[in-house]
Structure 1
Amino acid sequence: MTEQLLRAESVRPAVAVYGASGHTGRFVVRELSRRGFTAIAIGRDAAKLAAAGFPAGVRQVVASLEDPASLARALDGAAAVINCAGPFLDTAEPLVSAALQARIHYLDVTAEQGSAQATFARYASAAEAAGVVVIPAMGFYGGLSDLLATAAMGDWSRADEARIGIALDSWEPTEGTRVTGRRNTARRLTLSGGTLQPLADLAPNAVWTFAEPFGAQEMVELPFTEAVLIGRHLQLSELHTYLNTAPLRDLRDAATPAPVAADASGRSAQTFLVEVEIRRGSTLRRAAARGRDIYAITAPLVVEAAERILSTETAQGGVFAPGALFDAANFLVALAPDLVLS
């Protein structure tokens, strides 16, 4: 009997991944398998799922957001679903609805502010009533900066300003990134006067002096979903997010190739550094994290979140920013060695 109980306790719940055959989705499926979860790989194309090279034991299911019955069947037996299929302006709403119907947790990795905002606005009450945790933007853009800002904030209840600097040494965009960019044309929002406001006309490029190897970088103010997340739970008067201009030139160049694997894990050689400064009066607090491949790092970020949700029996339902739900400092430490903190 004891052996049977131990075996039962060692079986981890199933987690579904929608958009599993995409670039980020494949990283997420592999990370789930590495951690011992049963992964359900969901996609619209059986041939792409078959060619994705998933680890042994991954269940492959064809389902479409336009066919709720097929989606319900695909989610059967899952405890959570991770949405990796952009544009999230098109995929988040039907998949959150399906997750709530199935009473399973939902996470996505959107960098689209409009999608994250809509998830908070439309599903907060329903998720709370269902006892389901919903986390939008649990990826490199959005979730990572929210966690770093929360960790830097520490015991402060409010602050005057947060500045986030993101440096990439290059950007080889996936086709999904390009499609999302064409779909996501809304004006960017940031925190001003304590509320989300449209970003003012772009000022002349600033310079941010990062730690080495990046050093001084030309930057442009470009908020992503971290503005939506941070605005939900941190009391900040102003938020400014900057991205260096070099990777934007790569992104805007149609000839820039898609990511190329540089190691056995499938990660590209791209490197990143995110630095956060929180100011209250004349006092500054800082947090920073570096790593490789913005698509690959999204996998441990979102899977760590799913693991923490599923390991908490009394999880409160609702739509959350990661920094509002998790111990941010502890969460970031758990991502080593994929993420290096400073």
Structure 2
Amino acid sequence: MTWMIYGANGYTGRLMAKAAVARGMKPILAGRRREELEAMGRELGGLEVRVFGLEPAALDLGLRGVTLVLHCAGPFSETCAPMLEACLRAKAHYLDITGEIDVFAHCHQQDARAKAAGIVVLPGSGFDVVPTDCLAAQLKRDLPDATSLVLAFEAGGGPSPGTAKTSVEGLGKGGRARIGGQMTTVPLAWKHRTFDRDGEPRTAMTIPWGDVYTAYVSTGIPDIEVYMAVPPAVIGRVRRLRLVRPLLGLGPVQRFMKARVEKSVRGPSESKRGKTDTLVWGEARTADGRELKRQLRTPNGYDLTVTAALGITQRLLDGGSEPGFKTPSMLMGADYVLGLPGVTLVG
């Protein structure tokens, strides 16, 4: 089967392409920047390169003969819909590495069309949201009557440019939580609390992470909150942004903040990724107060994104998967994350 990495010249796309070749895989490298892509193709042993944008005609030509697209070109709020439409037309599996709630919702809405096309649509095939989704599914499996779910993570190493731009977009949309089964807009840094890491408390605030959408699809648990560990000073700064949140979504403000990201954010180096890990917490509770807690330790989020997404890619290339919208745990099973390199249960 012929498959493609779109956005292969971006930060995560480059990591993905190099790791794929190391596994003996031969993806097509695709995106909009010919010079960078052709240099990568030569560097990685003569891989095929296709250069095209996200206009329908260009996409249809670019995806000709392709059976799977691993979409790595964010922000996915802008790029998912045209690429997904092209995949539906081409009958090519669609994967991406988003963490954006609205993107998950859009992809889920295409479930019937994906089934009709005979393809799998699985957004969030990387750190967003493989470890948290699998942990949620494990907790639901082991505490079947859970009615509330809390997920949290502490990630080191710093963001890539794409992740930073997505965070900028999120500031203008406010927080999100799942309450009574419904997606609900809440204030920025709506709640804060602490989580234990190796005997030390970590302060954390609620964030609009993708699991607020996907964990409900995977588990049916009606109340879901997701937290990110940050210093108390950061929580204070984010809460002060509530006063100007309507301004943060304005086009000129968004463009200014994203331009700052392009100038200052490069993504963690290989050395920094190797020295930083991530801890993921999960807590499930029942209506009568029973509780189940679990922790995962994983490699740096970008390294986990590569191994998780390529594992899902290989599964689809091998065939035999039922079509339609999937979360990682729905396609790969709740324990998939435990088989990825460097992932361990804590305690």
TM-score interval for Structure 1 and Structure 2 normalised by the shorter chain:
0.7 to 0.9
* Residue in 2 that maps onto 1:236: 221
Q: 2:329 aligns with which of 308, 319, 323?
A: 323
* Residue in 2 that maps onto 1:3: none
Give the 3 Å change call, closer, same or farther, for CA 161–284 of structure 1 in structure 2: same
* Residue in 1 that maps onto 2:47: 58
Q: 1:141 aligns with which of 124, 128, 139?
A: 128
* Residue in 2 that maps onto 1:302: 309
Q: 1:131 aligns with which of 118, 131, 140?
A: 118
Q: 1:181 aligns with which of 145, 151, 167?
A: 167
Could you tell me which amino acid in structure 2 is paired with residue 320 of structure 1?
Answer: K
Could you tell me which amino acid in structure 1 is paired with residue 113 of structure 2?
Answer: A
Q: 1:336 aligns with which of 337, 341, 346?
A: 341
The DSSP-based 3-state class of the residue aligned with 1:316 is coil
Deviates more, 1:130-139 or 1:147-156: 147-156
Give the 3 Å change call, closer, same or farther, for CA 203–187 of structure 1 in structure 2: closer
* Residue in 1 that maps onto 2:3: 15
* Residue in 2 that maps onto 1:222: 207
Q: Distance in 2 between matches of 1:275 and 1:129?
A: 37
Q: Check conservation: 1:87, 1:179, Cα contact below 8 A.
A: yes
Q: Check conservation: 1:165, 1:276, Cα contact below 8 A.
A: yes
Q: Distance in 2 between matches of 1:133 and 1:46?
A: 29
Asked if 1:206 corresponds to 2:213, the answer is: no
Q: Check conservation: 1:153, 1:285, Cα contact below 8 A.
A: no
1:42 deviates by 0.5
Deviates more, 1:87-96 or 1:282-291: 282-291
Q: Distance in 2 between matches of 1:296 and 1:325?
A: 21
* Residue in 1 that maps onto 2:280: 274
Q: Distance in 2 between matches of 1:278 and 1:204?
A: 17
* Residue in 2 that maps onto 1:92: 80
Q: Distance in 1 between matches of 2:175 and 2:187?
A: 9
Q: Distance in 2 between matches of 1:199 and 1:38?
A: 44
1:324 deviates by 2.1
The DSSP-based 3-state class of the residue aligned with 1:276 is strand
- What does residue range 41-56 of structure 1 map to in structure 2 within 5 Å? 41-52=29-40, 54-56=43-45
1:257 deviates by 4.8
| Percent identity of paired positions between Structure 1 and Structure 2 | 25
1:242 deviates by 0.9
1:256 deviates by 6.4
Q: Check conservation: 2:297, 2:344, Cα contact below 8 A.
A: yes
Q: Check conservation: 1:233, 1:324, Cα contact below 8 A.
A: yes
Aligned residues: 320
Normalising by structure 2, we get a TM-score of 0.83
Give per-residue Cα distances to partners, 1:122-147, cap 9 Å, x unaligned. x1111011111001122212232111
Deviates more, 1:104-113 or 1:249-258: 249-258
Q: Distance in 2 between matches of 1:204 and 1:16?
A: 40
1:88 deviates by 0.5
Normalising by structure 1, we get a TM-score of 0.84
1:333 deviates by 2.6
Could you tell me which amino acid in structure 2 is paired with residue 82 of structure 1?
Answer: L
The DSSP-based 3-state class of the residue aligned with 1:38 is coil
Q: Distance in 1 between matches of 2:270 and 2:79?
A: 30
Q: Distance in 2 between matches of 1:231 and 1:131?
A: 24
* Residue in 2 that maps onto 1:283: 290
Q: Distance in 1 between matches of 2:15 and 2:267?
A: 13
The DSSP-based 3-state class of the residue aligned with 2:275 is coil
Give the 3 Å change call, closer, same or farther, for CA 158–323 of structure 1 in structure 2: farther
> More helix per residue: 1 or 2?
2
Q: Distance in 1 between matches of 2:66 and 2:274?
A: 30
Q: Check conservation: 1:143, 1:226, Cα contact below 8 A.
A: no
Could you tell me which amino acid in structure 2 is paired with residue 39 of structure 1?
Answer: P
Structure 2: which 5+ runs fail to align? 239-256
* Residue in 2 that maps onto 1:77: 65
Give the 3 Å change call, closer, same or farther, for CA 41–230 of structure 1 in structure 2: same
* Residue in 2 that maps onto 1:7: none
Q: Distance in 1 between matches of 2:232 and 2:279?
A: 13
Could you tell me which amino acid in structure 2 is paired with residue 111 of structure 1?
Answer: G
* Residue in 1 that maps onto 2:252: none
Give per-residue Cα distances to partners, 1:85-141, cap 9 Å, x unaligned. 1110111011111111111100111111111111112x1111011111001122212
The DSSP-based 3-state class of the residue aligned with 1:328 is coil
